Structure 1
Amino acid sequence: MGKHKFLVHEDGDYVGVAIEDIKAGEDVMGVELHSGKKFQVTSNHDIPLGHKIALRAVKKGEALIKYSESVGTVIQDIKIGDWVHTHNLKTARWDYGN
């Protein structure tokens, strides 16, 4: 599989962050920054550099965990390998109860 293409910030995070562009259907490896734990995921979408890839399934209405805390609410079911961005996540910093 080769080198890793995404990083996971904290143990237990639901997503990794692409450090290179990832293509749909690509089998990619990631690594957790502190422990070195490795992850393998098949991407369901093209995921640009700096965007998130799902490491676990998350249902609509659930919190999305990154940096070991909620960073927003899922607005569309997410599957392992999905691109996580504004189309399926309402970020916490923009969620003012509206």
Structure 2
Amino acid sequence: MTTAFRIHPGDNVATLLGDGTDSVTVIGEGEVALNEAIALGHKMAVADIAAGEAVVKFGIPIGHAAVAIRKGDWVHLHNCASRFDERSGGFDVVTGAAKDMAYD
């Protein structure tokens, strides 16, 4: 089974240490069912996060939920927006390329 770790006790996301498909074990906390496949190194919600609520990693807000995020959801650019960089929602969720800039 894939594992994940929560860096700070106040975090509402954990980082996967391998690809996850059905469920993951959050180290020291137990099993969480995944609502979708999540790749190695990506974040998953360890609690429900309401739209507009802070997404917390390292014990600090790293952004806010652009939509309601359920426990077990993948947390990434498609549902999380930066409070520091409004462009963060303009990146392609697969490639990470900015949608508003052409790279030649």
Asked if these proteins are the same fold (TM beyond 0.5), I'd say: yes
Per-residue CA deviations over 1:29-59 (Å, capped at 9, x if unaligned) read 011xxxxx32320000110111001100011
Relative to the length of structure 1, the TM-score reads: 0.80
Secondary structure of 1:5's aligned partner = strand
Q: What is the match of residue 14 of structure 1? A: 12
Larger relative contact order, structure 1 or 2 (CA cutoff 8 Å, min sep 6): 1
> What's the CA shift for 1:27?
2.4
Secondary structure of 1:40's aligned partner = strand
Q: How far apart in 1 are the matches of 2:5 and 2:83?
A: 21
**Percent identical residues:** 30
One-letter amino acid of the structure 2 residue matched with residue 67 of structure 1: F
One-letter amino acid of the structure 2 residue matched with residue 53 of structure 1: M
| Structure possessing the higher radius of gyration over alpha carbons | 2
| Gapped regions of structure 2 (runs ≥ 5) | 88-104
> What's the CA shift for 1:91?
2.3
Name the structure where strand makes up a greater proportion of residues. Answer: 1
Partner of residue 89 from structure 1, selected from 80, 84, 89: 80
Following TM superposition, the consecutive aligned residue runs of length 4 or more in structure 1 with deviations greater than 6 angstroms are none
Relative to the length of structure 2, the TM-score reads: 0.76
